[in-house]
Structure 1
Amino acid sequence: MKSHKSTLQSVLSAVLKVIRVYEWLLNLYVLDFFVDNHWEKLPTSWREIFQNIDPQVLGDIISGNHNNYVLPLSFLSLLKTVQTYSLPRTSIYNYESFKEIHSIHDSCRGHPRLKNLFLKHVKLKKRHEVTLMAEIVHHTASQVKCDAVVDFGSGLGHLVRLLAYKYDLYAAGIECQSQLTQDARKQDWELEYTAKKYLSTESAIKLRRPIHFDIILNNISQLDHLVLPDTMDNYGLIGLHPCGDLGPLLLKHFVSSNKVRFICVVGCCYMKLTCEGADRGYPMSKYLTGLDSGLSYASREISCHSIDTYCDRLKNGHYEDLKIHAYRAALERILVEHDPKLRHAQVRSIKNSDNMTFQRYCTLAVERLELPLPTCASTWSRGEADLQQWRRVVTVYTLRLLLAPLVETVILLDRILFVIENGFSCNIRPVFDPKISPRNHIIVAKRM
């Protein structure tokens, strides 16, 4: 573990140095492209090569595919560094990775008419996530001989429902929105109603219905006072994309409570992390706290974007709709010139703008602001000229996105190091297909 700890520290130190060097790029908001003249902020050698590169080729470059361009050494160095230090994103799991163990026919898991019952009302992305997450949670629970789990941010209860009815675990869902909790209970009843049509009376009686709580978590002490049934005296903590500080809160509870046998958590919404104070969500580890480890809101926000899907769109030539970035950036210049207080104002999101005039786009985008639009013809002429630079806007955004995995790597490795510093083994692995679920790394730690 000591060797693993020192390796993590070395990686974190190296990645933070890279982030410090390219912080200026991470902190560029795409809508400020024309206001702050982002193109001129790029190194001269980068501008010279990228100004004539088609976005489709740029997608290949970012993905590490072969190209015929002679790229600047500074950019090649950055690209190699990102590839070296970023956490692997290709999923090591699929539905066939887990061999179905022999199941009793007279059960929710074994009856052929009930196998897909858990996927009812579940959208494709969530179906992908809960299916794989449930398998990993069940496997981890078996390793530590634990038969209870508590899911924080359980939403409609899809995951706890799967763990309870299919895997026979005692399961509790914690959700802050009472309406979601009510709907989760309703779906439990619907599932049981259907299951009882096919199961024997004896098996139906044994069904383990999950329980659902309405709780708003603000601090770790609330977790210590959770009133759970006797069957859940010891349990595993699970969090499927807990927002902001909730993920770190669960990790802190794991290391501090002997009741928690294991934890499986997949992070999300890093821009909502608290970065100051004793209860902060980042940094968590003692090592990172002692370094220049600050991550701006902009860098944490871009780290939540889907680089895999975005690069695919570029490589496949499906980038015409990315012109919307240029539309919004051109509008931002008009808003700031009208009133600096309107900088980053919330405007209406407009889709399918490719065949729309700039003036029409602006009219629709600012209608909620009740703002009079310019009447000067030169303003609209300049706006149309700005739109002709959409490839540059896409290029700068893509270069920012190139750095996003490094930021996520720092945040996730900081969490692992925190667990290790507290005396536990911990690992991380890519679970979901990153093109379906961009935040696809699961942190697993066990109290053996």
Structure 2
Amino acid sequence: MAGSTGWTEPATAGYDAAGDAWGRGGGQTPSEFLENPSQSSRLTAPFRKHVRPKKQHEIRRLGELVKKLSDLTGCTQVVDVGSGQGHLSRFMSLGLGLMVKSIEGDQRLVERAQHLDQQLLQALEKEEKKNPQVVQRGPRHSPHHVVQWVDPTAPCEELLLPLENAQQGGIRLLLTGLHACGDLSVALLRHFCCCPEVVALASVGCCYMKLSDPGGYPLSQWVAGLPGYELPYRLREGACHALEEYAERLQKAGPGLRTHCYRAALEKVIRCACPQLRRPGVQGIPRAHELKIEEYVQRGLQRVGLDPQQPLNLADLWAHQAQENRVVAFFSLALLLAPLVETLILLDRLLYLQEQGFHAELLPIFSPELSPRNLVLIATKMPLGQAFSALETEDG
């Protein structure tokens, strides 16, 4: 895998909170943030508004890659699946001149995206009036937002519907998804394979623990033939943590590491109180390490809908807290497997596409210290040769 792509060992994360390590002194700061750590020098001010530095970096790099891939494959329309508030769609459409349809299942996010579209259009108009000498890169089209859930197991006709102002003739689609969660990344791959209208793919996956089992992994015949190919939930969840960010936390040895021990104790209390409640999503508790362990457990119980005032075995909780260094050591050892697990999942997706005769490659396009889910899976139905490797290079 290394060599032709220049790919190094993939960084791991999945949670946006883990992606800001560079801003706290960890890793290498991307050159676009050397002048100002919160504003990319490669994006104009209107495209930075309401967008965090991590997302600024991601939408610029993926957007520019999609533009190159679209030009190479003659695509007439880009479909951004799981588009959220539309930051990537806006940059591709209003910044790069692409025809973009963005599909998002949450009505509230779509309404927010449409509101931000209008704000950006107004800002661009003001900027053009102030600087009429600025030459626009191409035609300006607002993204077309659609509220739609994409089923990984069934064709989504909405993907294939051309926009009203799309070019006449055959439609050629490029599917993309920026950190498409769980099965949504798998859905992109399946639609690419089964829909003749889809000629290119640029997918950045995330949240591997949410993959359906079976169905989301393995996809390729090669990986399915490996002995012991199974990846239980714990391994897939571990692959969604940031190795670089956690290494920095270990070096600092701050009190925040205590949270691992607290969370483990909370899990035990939850299982005793409600055995059928497995893997509950516990919303983050601010400054958890400053709380007493029993206070943390009470807040955690409330977050999963259990009685926070139920009797607690304080002696047991304190005994757990005394083991916090061992919990950190265990978590650290488990995290060392994260790059291996992520590599296996991404290789499985790459091989799945190649087994069906498509051209595919994994490219590192994000700074791993800033955006640890940094590999994009590129696929086309026509050979591109060396053009694949050129996709990851920076624009001038």
Shared fold by TM > 0.5? yes
Distance 1:446 1:341, change over 3 A: closer
Please list every run of 5 or more consecutive structure 2 residues that lacks an aligned counterpart in the other structure: 13-26, 33-40, 383-396
Shift of 1:418: 0.7
Alignment of 1:1-400 (within 5 A): 87-89=9-11, 115-199=44-128, 206-218=139-151, 219-223=153-157, 226-229=160-163, 230-231=166-167, 233-276=171-214, 280-292=215-227, 293-318=229-254, 320-333=255-268, 349-366=284-301, 369-370=306-307, 372-374=309-311, 379-400=313-334
Give the match's secondary structure for 2:89: helix
Q: Confirm or deny: 8 A CA contact 1:223 1:253 kept in the other structure.
A: no
- Equivalents in 2 of 1:136, 1:418: separation in Å? 22
Give the match's secondary structure for 2:336: helix
Give 1:410's aligned residue. 344
- Equivalents in 1 of 2:9, 2:138: separation in Å? 45
* Mean Cα deviation higher: 351-360 or 323-332: 351-360
Letter in 2 for 1:370: D
Q: Confirm or deny: 8 A CA contact 1:430 1:441 kept in the other structure.
A: yes
Q: TM-score, normalised by structure 2?
A: 0.76
- Equivalents in 2 of 1:215, 1:132: separation in Å? 26
* Mean Cα deviation higher: 380-389 or 196-205: 196-205
Shift of 1:355: 4.5
Q: Percent identity?
A: 35
Distance 1:339 1:433, change over 3 A: same
Letter in 2 for 1:123: R
Shift of 1:290: 2.8
Distance 1:133 1:205, change over 3 A: closer
Q: Confirm or deny: 8 A CA contact 2:74 2:172 kept in the other structure.
A: no
Count of residue pairs the alignment pairs up:
343
- Equivalents in 2 of 1:371, 1:88: separation in Å? 40
Moved over 4 A (4+): 90-96, 200-206, 331-349, 371-375
Instruction: Map Cα deviations across residues 279-302 of structure 1 (whole Å, 9 max, x no partner).
Output: x22111122223342211111111
- Equivalents in 1 of 2:177, 2:330: separation in Å? 34
Distance 1:168 1:405, change over 3 A: same
Letter in 1 for 2:259: I
Q: Confirm or deny: 8 A CA contact 2:61 2:365 kept in the other structure.
A: yes
Shift of 1:117: 1.1
- As a proportion of its length, which structure holds more helix? 1
RMSD: 3.4
Q: Which is higher, the Rg of structure 1 or of structure 2?
A: 1
Give 2:356's aligned residue. 422
- Equivalents in 1 of 2:216, 2:308: separation in Å? 39
Give the match's secondary structure for 2:69: helix
Shift of 1:335: 5.5
Q: TM-score, normalised by structure 1?
A: 0.68
Give the match's secondary structure for 2:358: coil
- Equivalents in 2 of 1:243, 1:313: separation in Å? 26
Please list every run of 5 or more consecutive structure 1 residues that lacks an aligned counterpart in the other structure: 8-84, 97-111
Shift of 1:157: 1.2
Distance 1:88 1:370, change over 3 A: closer
Instruction: Map Cα deviations across residues 219-252 of structure 1 (whole Å, 9 max, x no partner).
Output: 3421487321343811211111111111111112
